[in-house]
Structure 1
Amino acid sequence: MPLDRFVRALIQWQAVDRPAPVRTLPVEEVRRRYADGATRTRGGAAPEPVAEVSDRTIGVPDGSFGVRTYLPVTDRGRLVTYLHGGGWVVGDVDTHDGVCRRIAAVLGAVVVSVDYRRAPEHPHPVPLRDGIAAAEWAAAAFPGREHVIAGDSAGASLAVGIALHERDHGTVTFAAQVLVYPPADPGLTSESARTYGTGYLSDVEDLRWYYEQYVPRPRHGTDPIDLLGADHRGMPPTVIGTAEYDALHDDGVALAARMAADGVEVRHVPAPGLVHGYLLLADVVPAAAEATHRVLAAVEHLLTQVAVPH
């Protein structure tokens, strides 16, 4: 499918601005730029209404991190623990506020958005441990609900790591797992990485830089960031969203195939004509809003088909 015309306009606008590559900038500048971009793509749209929003701090043995909780207007007895994207380095509960509000409204779920500590100050496994602690806190704070673990981009990688931990060592049972444009191969060896690695709002060399900040020496096949090398047997039913013009497109397709081979029920939701990060474009790109709702419709279908003991 041709590149979405609104996305093409964004790419052309970025080309005129000629921003410096992420990998050449100080981390704080990268974070500021990402946050500014998230603000611009809201386009002045009114936030999705929710019943209540609250922030709190969660203490862990080596420090603390924040969570933001959204209570839905119409509560359908569900719970989503959400991990934001941003290469484990940028992004926070503010950049993904609109995403979490939309999830709460569409699914009728309490959403716990995790403000995990970020690399490079806090490399692996700190963000993963924060995510595990947040999911377990959410399950205890909102018991008896269908619990979904979800994330986009780097947050999707964290979501898988959390689900793997809970499968093997934890106490939380997830009804579903939602992974939107997940990074699955730290080597970035796919055809989509070569084809869409430049000129589509995200640069493959910047992706490599993000990986290096999170895990300075990736151990392919043994590290949680190598999702294609993980054993996914016994994982919850999973929705995987991919974007057509995304360096990580093939990662999501390969991960869906790997999970299916391990016996996981997988629903792949493609986003034709779109790029990496489309969840943050839903307020200004109609096709991104449609793709977001297709992902959530797939989650809705899973939750109405799968019975999970509480």
Structure 2
Amino acid sequence: MNKGMDRYVKRFREEADREELSVSVSNAEGFAKLTERIRQDRLPEFQEKFRTMMSDKVAKQILDFKAELDDDVSEIKERIDELNDSLKDLDYSKGKSYIQIRYFDTKDREIVGDSGFKEMLRGSIPDLGDSSHNEEKFAKIRELLKKLKGEGGSDRWSRLVTDPRNWLDFQAAEFLRDNNQILQVYDSSAGKSGGQTVKLAYTILASAIAYQFKIRERNSFRFVVIDEMFNNLDGENSRYALNLFRQLGLQLLVVTPMDKITIVEPYVRSVHFVKNNSEGNDSRVYPISKENVSSGKDENSERKVGNL
């Protein structure tokens, strides 16, 4: 009897103190009254319902939530692999190298640390084969939900840890074609010239756009408007960027000054000249034939075609 009393007092310290219960035969009547009240309050019945809920509902919901996040991360990796297949066919340095987007599991401690989100999520999954730790698991679930809800009304942590893109770190790497060895890794644009920075930026930008348009859906509408595309780009890097957009199946509308039109000419099907008056309130569009662009003539530029 004393052992049973001792187990109860240790497990339910607050309740024992409130009922002034201690491990003593003289307190047997107090324990008996408490037992009867528990029966009348149907606590054993609710305890069984709690066990069922933890096993059948909570465990499934947490496992589904975790599986959905894991699937999203896997999809990101698959789509980047598809992008890399296209990028490998395109020279980054002519005849010498190509670019690949690399991904790694993040080292962000808020996501993967000992007290990070992924560890909290794993620790909240009930053990379907052992219900003895259900109360402990429930406390962890409550702690996780409280943190996801945000402290002080801020959802910064929740948005960070539940976005599967943040589960990965990314970098661009330049590989040599002849041996597939890494020539250079680009974690940032520090130390790069203006042209190199823009070239790298276009590579990442085009890859990101193709990713959003879902590169595998080749017949999808993937229209992109680029203004002042050739700023800080020499002719070779400009052609690289245009080849990149074409390789990734993007449909471009390029806005550029007339002195840059010869760069874009081989990549477009039609050319239009946009002109505004000195007051800036009368814009007009004029079609230019590709033949006239090639010859440097512009016989249609003064013919009014329509107002914007």
> Please, what TM-score do these two structures have when normalized by structure 1?
0.24
> Which gives a bigger RCO, structure 1 or 2 (Cα 8 Å, sep 6+)?
1
Return the structure number with greater helix share.
Answer: 2
Return the structure number with greater strand share.
Answer: 1
The structure with the largest alpha-carbon Rg is: 2
